[in-house]
Amino acid sequence: MSEIIEALNQLEKEKNVSKESLLDAIERSLKVACKKDFGADENIDVVMDRETGEFHVYAKKEVVADVEDFATQISIEQAKLIDPSYDLGDVVTKEITTKAFGRIAAQRARNVIVQAINEGERDAIYDHFQTKEKDIVTGIVQRYIGNNINVSLDDKTEAILKDTEMVPGETYERGDRIKLYVTEVRKSSRGPKISVSRTHPDLVKRLFEKEVSELADGTVVIKNSCREAGSRSKIAVWSKDPNVDPVGACVGVNGSRVNNVVEDLNGEKIDIICWDENPAIFIKNALSPSEVISVDVDLEEKSAFVVVPDFQLSLAIGKKGQNARLAAKLTGYKIDIKSESQAEEMGYFSDDDNDERYDEETASDNEDAYEETEPVYDDAVSEETASEEE
């Protein structure tokens, strides 16, 4: 029987399946085989030696004065023939050995080992990808299944990228390597089911965390992010260390870090801006790359009135309102944007009583912050963004 233990040790290494779980499964199967052989009511235990693989089958019966159930009881007279020390209420344990049992047990053990291996593999895969939930993995495109894509996550695991989770306009070829966000991992009868996405907002956040060491060690924090997949994302970053520029850390030398993320997202534009606890300054930053003259914030209504230069109005609003829309999502404020001439017609500049305001004339104390929160891209992305939105 030592061959069984040797085989189980090999399976544990190759299949990443616990030998102990296989042994437990074999014991259970042998117990079922014994009950079928000797009767379903028989009180039977099966013990398998973890070192040698030898198994022993024991029938347990309670010592009674009058036997009512021969499967679970034994008379006091018969018990004393086995061992004179037995008394009423004791449990007699007797080993069972039959040739018929050996054949049945071997067949069932073989079947249960295969089943236990499959279950163990599924559990190991589930445990591995459970740790990847809400994180990113790399998949290799295999084939299209209707409008969906079959993606290989490793040599044993596949996932389906649904068309609703694909970025509009992206196309894939067999063998393409793509980054995916794992939205959910759950068990099923056919193994773990892994749901993945290319459009999830946190995909951008996780990609930056993989690229930027300052994010990984907690020096720089992504306070918030928002995304319109395939077009544009905005992330608000903040540094715990005043000597570390959060935007510069995320951009990297010559834009190396942000460019790697942009490449993984197939050219999606990314605005990296400084988070600020002052909502007026935060909103002003969120509207990058547009310049901002002033911001009035209504804290109770969670709304803001923003004035921009006349020639920057279209840039502030963005193509089809995208820049303003993303800024509103990023900050959590409803933003009303007006040009300087529109604000003057409304008599806006005659009222200077609002304390929650950012404006250029009174922002001398924040000049350094204003400069560092200008959107930073690689040159190709910044020029394209400005020309497209103007």
pLDDT in tens, 18-37: 778 778 877 777 777 676 66
The pTM of this model reads 0.68
Q: What single DSSP character describes residue 74?
A: E
- Phi and psi at 130, nearest 5°, equal -60, -35
Q: Does residue 358 surpass a pLDDT of 90?
A: no
Lowest mean pLDDT among 164-173, 250-259, 329-338, 380-389: 380-389
Q: How confident is the model at residue 119 (pLDDT cuts 50, 70, 90)?
A: confident
3-state secondary structure at position 127:
helix
Q: How far apart are CA 83 and CA 341, in angstroms?
A: 108
Instruction: Pull the structure tokens for residue 188.
Output: 């099923």
Q: According to the model, what pLDDT value does residue 56 have? A: 78
Rounded to 5°, the CA angle 329-332-337 comes to 75
Q: Could you tell me if 117 and 9 are in contact, meaning their C-beta atoms sit under 8 angstroms apart? A: no
Q: Could you tell me if 240 and 219 are in contact, meaning their C-beta atoms sit under 8 angstroms apart? A: yes
Instruction: Pull the structure tokens for residue 207.
Output: 């990609």
Q: According to the model, what pLDDT value does residue 41 have? A: 52
Q: Does residue 242 surpass a pLDDT of 60?
A: yes
Between 192 and 11, the more confident residue is 192
Q: According to the model, what pLDDT value does residue 182 have? A: 95
* C-alpha distances in Å from residue 270, one per residue of 213, 235, 369: 19, 8, 20
Give the closest residue to 241 by CA, choosing from 233, 249, 251: 249
Q: According to the model, what pLDDT value does residue 383 have? A: 37
Give the closest residue to 15 by CA, choosing from 144, 114, 95, 111: 114
Q: Does residue 386 surpass a pLDDT of 70?
A: no
Q: According to the model, what pLDDT value does residue 14 have? A: 72
Average pLDDT for residues 75-85, to the nearest whole number? 87
pLDDT in tens, 305-352: 999 999 999 999 999 999 999 999 999 999 999 999 999 988 877 655
Instruction: Pull the structure tokens for residue 203.
Output: 């995909």
Q: According to the model, what pLDDT value does residue 237 have? A: 96
First to last CA, the chain: 79
Number of neighbours of residue 179 by Cβ within 10 angstroms: 18
* C-alpha distances in Å from residue 289, one per residue of 31, 187, 314, 389: 72, 45, 11, 10
Between 309 and 71, the more confident residue is 309
Q: Does residue 54 surpass a pLDDT of 50?
A: yes
What residue has token string 């935060």? 282
Q: Does residue 55 surpass a pLDDT of 80?
A: no
Whole-angstrom Cα Rg for the chain: 34
Q: How far apart are CA 39 and CA 53, in angstroms?
A: 25
Phi-psi region of 80 (alpha: psi -120 to 50; beta: other; left: phi over 0): alpha
